[in-house]
Structure 1
Amino acid sequence: KAKTVMFQTTLFLLAWYSLTTTLFQAVQSDVFLSDCKSFFHDAASFIQTFIGWTIAAGHSAAQISTKIPNAFIAEIIYWLLLILVVGICVAGTGILVILIEIKVIELYKKNCWDFITLLMILTSAAVIIYFGESIKKTLSVNLLLLFVLSQGVYVGLRCYLKNQLNTKLY
């Protein structure tokens, strides 16, 4: 029992050391930091565009109220329809994102919650951070996006292999 605790403690300290040195290197990497900034800037731009589309759809739906002859009631219905359409779009999208996130977390916990995955995350992060400039010269891809995609490919491959190995009778 003492050996197991010592082994787990050693693995935890190794993972902590690997993670901190990789993160410190990431902070010092100008290429990785600029890619992180552009990744989150693009995500924010997409969210702003989506909200703009949602508000435009709300305005379009609320134009029905112009057919009401009473101006006061027409204004109330206009704002109610606008709030209703925008609220439904935003709430629906939020619920969809949360459900997808829950499914991904369940899949990750079911198939990839182990030491091999921890090593894969640390290794891929270290490779992308340390060799970021070389990767950017070869591929014109955002490094943070490359990390997320590599993790997605890893999880997909791991789930596929686990499913294939469980269906075979050996």
Structure 2
Amino acid sequence: MIEECRDKQRQAEHERDYALSHQKKVEIPVEKPVLYQKCGNCKQTAYLKAKERYDTQREKLAGRYKAKTAIYEALMFLLIWYSVSTTLFQMIRSKIFISDCVVFFDTIATFIQNIAGLTILAGKNVAQVSNGISNPVVAGIIYWMIRILISGGCLVGVGILLAFIEIKIVGLYKKYCWDSITIMVILISMATAIYFGKWIKTTLPINLLFLLLFVQLVYVGIRWYVRGWRETRGYH
């Protein structure tokens, strides 16, 4: 009984394999439906007509947008130019602001001179180790080499450090503050310091140019904090 069932199973499998190996593949052509039929009275399809109308309308809207954008940019440029020019003219007329600028840059120049003097003095003191050399020619060469290396190295290091700080500040400014809001803040802070400089100095004895730089520093810090706060919450 079991052998008979197995024979029937093997015969069925053989017939199945034979059918799979000898079956014919017949390709039946199928017509694909045309989505957009041609109009009866013209050669263009309805789709092409609609696309042509869309392209025409899009070009008109793009032209209007470009024209309005150009007008807006021109008005903004004129407004900024007028604000900057009037602020600069008033700054030139403001004796208090000009005197504060002179004091500010004079302080910076004095600080740089002091740093340079200390650097040269340090190089001179370190170069005194050449006094222990008996040969005066060799001692003189070593003295000036040490002095040039110490002084020049310190000055170059300070210059590189200042350049690095400047690049970082400019990078932060471009990343977080390079927009029209920054221009408005600069103009408003400059106008406030120039027009109300006398009242500011009577209330708060501070250099006006230093005050402007401090305001910009606080502004950059606020923009950096707000940008980071928005990025952490997925608003950007």
Do these two structures clear the TM 0.5 threshold for a shared fold by scoring above it?
yes
User: Which of the pair has the greater relative contact order for Cα pairs under 8 Å at 6+ separation?
Assistant: 1
Q: Which of these two proteins has the greater Rg computed from alpha carbons? A: 2
Q: Which residue does 2:186 correspond to in 1?
A: 121
1:167 aligns with 2:232: yes
3-state SS in 2 of match to 1:113:
coil
Number of matched residues? 170
CA shift digits 1:107-152 (9 cap, x unpaired) = 1101100000000000000001100000000011000000000001
Alignment map for 1:80-159 (pairs within 5 Å): 80-159=145-224
2:126 is equivalent to residue 61 of structure 1: yes
- 1:75-106 Cα distance to aligned partner (Å, 9 max, x none): 11101100000110010010111111111111
Aligned twin of 1:8: 73
Q: Give runs of aligned pairs for residues 33-72 of structure 1, distance below 5 A.
A: 33-72=98-137
Cα deviations across residues 34-79 of structure 1 (Å, max 9, x unaligned)? Answer: 1000001100000000000000110011011111111111011101
Partner of 2:82: 17
Distance 2:154 2:209 in 1: 29
Rounded Cα–Cα distance in structure 2 between residues aligned with 1:28 and 1:49: 32
Deviation at 1:168, TM superposition (A): 1.1
Instruction: Give SS of 1:45's match.
Output: helix
Structure 1: gaps (5+ residues)? none
Give the aligned residue type for 1:146.
L
Q: Does 1:74 align with 2:146?
A: no
More helix by share: 1
Alpha-carbon distance between aligned partners in 1 of 2:231 and 2:82, rounded to the nearest angstrom: 35
How far residue 12 of structure 1 moved from its aligned partner, in angstroms, is: 0.9
Paired letter, 1:65: S
* Displacement of 1:169: 3.5
Q: Which runs of 4+ in 1 moved over 6 A?
A: none
Q: Give 3-state SS (helix, strand or coil) of 1:141's partner.
A: coil
Q: List runs of 5+ in structure 2 lacking aligned partners.
A: 1-65
